[in-house]
Structure 1
Amino acid sequence: MTDLIRILLCEDQTLMRLGLRTIFELEPGFQIVGEAADGEEAVSQYGKLHTQGDGPDIVLMDIQMPRLSGVQATALLTTSDPAARVIILTTFDYEDYVFEAIKAGAMGYLLKDVPATELMATIRQVYAGEPSIQPRIAYKLLLEFGRNSRVAAEPARSTHLEQLSPREIEILKLLAEGASNRKIAEQLVLAEGTVKNHVSNILSKLHIENRTQAAYLARERKLF
């Protein structure tokens, strides 16, 4: 590796991408070697840059992007190249997103409101081979991991899935995919209030506390 850290910038919002590029241009020691506006392009660009002998040292990846999400793109990159070093840079600190990103192989997870100095420090840390997650995200992740472990340790709880109606199973599957009440309402052509009531019933029947635990249980039972 050289002292110049090569970065592949993957961000679907043009203004955000341009802003990040400007920050890196003003900071010595960094070079943007490629850009991508969606997850599919990120995977394609990564392979193309490596073929050209200018493979990125760091992939800075947004989570919500067209065609392939940042998590899906990360999984493809780390599967094809275990040495790929991906940092998620996003506006979302939802536990599910963090879990999925780390399972996909991301080495860093940052929110977009971080100061530029923290972004640069995280990139250098991951470049050196050390994972990095913001303390407030790591704290939430540990709390949720503890809750999910308790759910997984109680197999009897999963039998309560049989108490759900076909409509509640549909909604649970969408919860597991990270859909909001509004998105679920739009997809199933229901009122948002009706979806909210269904979600409350699901949590009550499964004897769990929140949507994240419901999503975890759905994934464990392979409902989708």
Structure 2
Amino acid sequence: MTGEQEMISVFVVDDHEVVRRGIASFLEFADGIAFVGEASDGREALDRLAVLSTQDQLPDVMLLDLRMPRLDGAETAAIVAERYPDVRTVILTSFSEIERVQTALANGASGYVLKDAAASEVEAAIRATQRDEVFIDAAVAGRLTKRLSGPGHGVGSLSARERDVLVLVGRGLSNRAIAERLAISERTARTHVSKLLTKLNLNTRTQAALVAVREGLVDADPE
């Protein structure tokens, strides 16, 4: 669509109909975002994605509840990341489920928001996925980053350039944006990200962003 904002399609997975209906309602009024489907658990969601894939109509983003029957959000996120790498997943969670959030993020989720978050926060999380950015709900980031403290997660093992890259990852920048900011190639930026993840014993960019927040290198709210 030349000159126009590309529509972001969103699929909602939650075992509570009132949550699905609420999200669908506010998405109707979000500029450039379209609600395109729903499912009551991970198993049903995967079944529907399989059909949508054959029709070349996969959603851009899935909002996933963590606690669901048959197949929960963390397991669903892992399967979606493997089968449909172009589909981004954002976890819907509550404070009581914080221990399971890290697993979901390690399984490929692009971020997380609280179920009682303002509509603007959910919208921000959806848009962040399309910019290859990390969205971290500031209200629970502190609790999650504490789980990343311990041996192997120290930033002291990083080179000066890797530390610079970690800061930019923490701010939600993509590899391309990091390359532009540091005047290096995108391939070099990707290599730096890979090396710092290895040194910090981490699996995902989101975990690296959380470390950056914990160490005070960036604010909890991404740019």
Tell me the TM-score normalised to structure 2 length.
0.62
2:51 to 40, 48, 61: 48
Residues 111 and 136, structure 2, Cα contact 8 Å, conserved in 1: yes
Counterpart check, 1:133 vs 2:136: yes
SS in 1 for 2:80: helix
- CA deviation profile, 1:88-141 (whole Å, cap 9, x unmatched): 012245442121111111001110111111111111011211121112322222
Larger radius of gyration, structure 1 or 2? 1
Following superposition, the deviation at residue 87 of structure 1 comes to 0.2
Counterpart check, 1:106 vs 2:109: yes
C-alpha distance in structure 2 between counterparts of 1:37 and 1:94, whole Å: 18
Tell me the TM-score normalised to structure 1 length.
0.62
SS in 1 for 2:63: strand
Structure 2 stretches of 5 or more lacking a match?
154-223
**Counterpart for residue 211 of structure 2:** none
2:72 to 66, 69, 74: 69
Structure 1 stretches of 5 or more lacking a match?
153-224
Following superposition, the deviation at residue 25 of structure 1 comes to 1.1
Residues 10 and 63, structure 2, Cα contact 8 Å, conserved in 1: yes
Which structure's residues are more often helix, by fraction?
1
Following superposition, the deviation at residue 63 of structure 1 comes to 0.6
How many residues of Structure 1 are paired with residues of Structure 2 in the alignment? 151
C-alpha distance in structure 1 between counterparts of 2:82 and 2:140, whole Å: 25
- CA deviation profile, 1:192-218 (whole Å, cap 9, x unmatched): xxxxxxxxxxxxxxxxxxxxxxxxxxx
Residues 11 and 37, structure 1, Cα contact 8 Å, conserved in 2: yes
Residues 95 and 144, structure 1, Cα contact 8 Å, conserved in 2: no
Counterpart check, 1:30 vs 2:33: yes
Residues 93 and 111, structure 1, Cα contact 8 Å, conserved in 2: no
Counterparts in 2 of 1:79 and 1:70: CA distance versus 1, 3 Å? same
What residue identity is the alignment partner of 1:22?
S
Counterpart check, 1:21 vs 2:24: yes
What residue identity is the alignment partner of 1:63?
L
Counterparts in 2 of 1:42 and 1:130: CA distance versus 1, 3 Å? same
C-alpha distance in structure 1 between counterparts of 2:15 and 2:121, whole Å: 22
1:122 to 119, 122, 125: 125
**Highest relative contact order (Cα 8 Å, sep 6+), 1 or 2?**
2
C-alpha distance in structure 1 between counterparts of 2:137 and 2:86, whole Å: 22
C-alpha distance in structure 2 between counterparts of 1:33 and 1:52, whole Å: 14
After superposition, where does 1:177-216 map in structure 2 within 5 Å?
none
